[in-house]
Amino acid sequence: MVSNGGSNFLLGQTVPCLLFLVFGLVLLVSLQAEAAIKKYQFDVQVSNVSRLCHAKPIVTVNGRFPGPTIYAREGDRVVINVTNHAQYNMSIHWHGLKQYANGWADGPAYITQCPIKTGSSYVYDFNVTGQRGTLWWHAHILWLRATVYGAIVILPQQGTPYPFPKPDNEHVLVFGEWWHGDVEEIVKQGNAMGLPPNMSDAHTINGKPGPLFPCSEKHTFAMEVEQGKKYLLRIANAALNDELFFAISGHNMTVVEIDAVYTKPFTTSTILIAPGQTTNVLVYANSAPGRYFMAVRPFQDVPIPVDNKTATAILQYKGIPNTVLPSLPQLPSPNDTAFALSYNKMLRSLNTPNFQANVPLKVDRNLFFTIGLGKSVCPTCINGTRLSASLNNITFVMPQTALLQAHYSNMKGVFTADFPDKPPKAFNYTGAPLTANLFTTHGTRLSKIPFNSTVELVIQDTNLLSVESHPFHLHGYNFFVVGTGVGNFDPAKDPAKYNLVDPPERNTVGVPTGGWSAIRFRADNPGVWFFHCHLELHTGWGLKTAFVVEDGPGKDQAVRPPPKDLPPC
């Protein structure tokens, strides 16, 4: 009896231990499942690619064009080793990822890092915190993002549903531009003359222009659907210089997310998407089974030359033969300003208890930036001048040392933190075109922001040379687009019309032609964060600056030390 009692006693002790051990293992496994490490190897290499009856060498990642899609879950750590085998310096930006206190992983060359030289590698190591949805990645040096780009898909945490009907399947669509020639050579020629380089020869959907172009039957993206099912399309605009309309013949789309932030769903026949932006839409395969064209074409509402050709892909119902000719969708006219303004008005944050829109209601710092096109002296250029661009009449000069390194190490002489909060003088910004006094000042001047302060920035287009629509991207942050309008911003009247309840939250805002956009954000991410027009042409001309957000008082509120393998300058 005694021995039996002893074994029962031991068993009584062992079972809770075993249960505890099993529970611990389950917890560990579930935690690991929740916060996995996703590893990728990116080999930047030159590959021969044929489009429009013509082959040429292009810079790619892993020989693929577009590059691979990165998949992660909210909460994951992502580790991407980039090895540069190409002849150009390289850096890659993970567009829309916030990189909290970790600007070293943000990627813009000479802003947060010096580029990865030929034959070298650099590891981008970052956490995906509090973000889920579609973003994208691209080269952030020269015009190399013409071919070096791809999508980022961040799935919600396990067990967290979408706040919209669950799709039966999903597809990634990345829009781009294609040039017959070597893009870097084309840009060099333009710069040497002080003029814009030649525009692209085609637009593409997933790297393919579609059958309306020569030699492109096989270069057409096709997507099979089944009658009665619903599909999530994850769309990114990787074009260098064009805002794009997108529509699907015979089908409406329900917009459910922009820039990896859920929106109040609305149905539309066409979406408008600027370079740098992403949009998720639900499509219901409920039309007559057939083949339908998906089409993209630029929106441009000023008389500036643009590649206005239509790229197409095919949405094909299962069981329908390829011999059936697809129909084209009815896209808005290329200069349909009214559609562009009304579409952007429909975008609103979901703003539910699970996905709140925490709009700053009190503003600590008011900024007013004017966008100007202008001229710079260039003795070798035609007419002795080259086209340039400015914010508050300052054309940004790129440094030779990365700004984040200079800030972190207190290096002197790399930048000054005296970017003005407003332009040097007020004028009728959107009146008759201004063609005199177009010369700007040049400098590497940054705007310094105290940690955790709230910022309102009004971005005002001007008619210096010409009004134009400008998509502006802020690194390291999302912001709320609290207001937008046509004409001159009126500080006495316009703020009363702001949406402070459920404004769209995004990382790239389209400033309307001859108009303004007001954005708000809380400066709670320390570091140096690039702010620039996402039209590559204008960025190259100097339409950019950066914010230096100071460290906060907490130990996790300061810029982390740089990684050991940070590329040298």
pLDDT band of 562, cuts 50, 70, 90: very high
Q: What is the pLDDT of residue 34?
A: 57
Helix (H) / strand (E) element for 2: namely: helix 2-34
> Judging by beta carbons within 10 Å of its beta carbon (0-12, 13-18, 19+), is residue 3 exposed, middle or buried?
exposed
Residue range 435-487, pLDDT digits in tens: 877 889 999 999 999 999 999 999 999 999 899 999 999 999 999 999 999 99
Helix (H) / strand (E) element for 337: namely: helix 337-345
Residue identified by tokens 């492109």 is: 216
Cα-based angle 69, 60, 131 (whole degrees, multiple of 5): 30
Do the beta carbons of residue 521 and residue 479 sit within 8 Å? yes
Same domain, 63 and 171: no
The residue type at 183: V
Same domain, 130 and 186: no
Same domain, 215 and 338: yes
Residue range 226-273, pLDDT digits in tens: 999 999 999 999 999 999 999 999 999 999 999 999 999 999 999 999
Do the beta carbons of residue 218 and residue 199 sit within 8 Å? no
Q: Does residue 554 belong to any structural domain of this protein?
A: no
CATH number at residue 71: 2.60.40.420
Last residue of a domain, one of 138, 159, 180: 159
* Other Cβ atoms within 10 Å of 504 Cβ, number: 25
Same domain, 244 and 308: yes
> Judging by beta carbons within 10 Å of its beta carbon (0-12, 13-18, 19+), is residue 46 exposed, middle or buried?
middle
Same domain, 472 and 491: yes
Q: Is the model's pLDDT at 33 over the cut of 80?
A: no
Q: Does residue 120 belong to any structural domain of this protein?
A: yes
Structural domain harbouring 135:
35-159
Residue range 175-219, pLDDT digits in tens: 999 999 999 999 999 999 988 999 999 999 999 999 999 999 889
Q: Is the model's pLDDT at 432 over the cut of 70?
A: yes
Q: Does residue 351 belong to any structural domain of this protein?
A: no
* Other Cβ atoms within 10 Å of 95 Cβ, number: 27
Half-sphere exposure of 293 (CA within 13 A, CB side): 18
Same domain, 80 and 48: yes
Do the beta carbons of residue 279 and residue 273 sit within 8 Å? yes
Q: How far is the C-alpha of 128 from the C-alpha of 116, rounded, in Å?
A: 23
Same domain, 372 and 506: yes
Domain count, the chain: 3
Q: How far is CA 96 from CA 6, 36, 38, 368, 482, in A?
A: 63, 20, 18, 23, 19
Same domain, 94 and 176: no
3-state secondary structure of 345: helix
Same domain, 154 and 177: no
- Least Cα distance to 527 among 559, 554, 482 occurs for 559
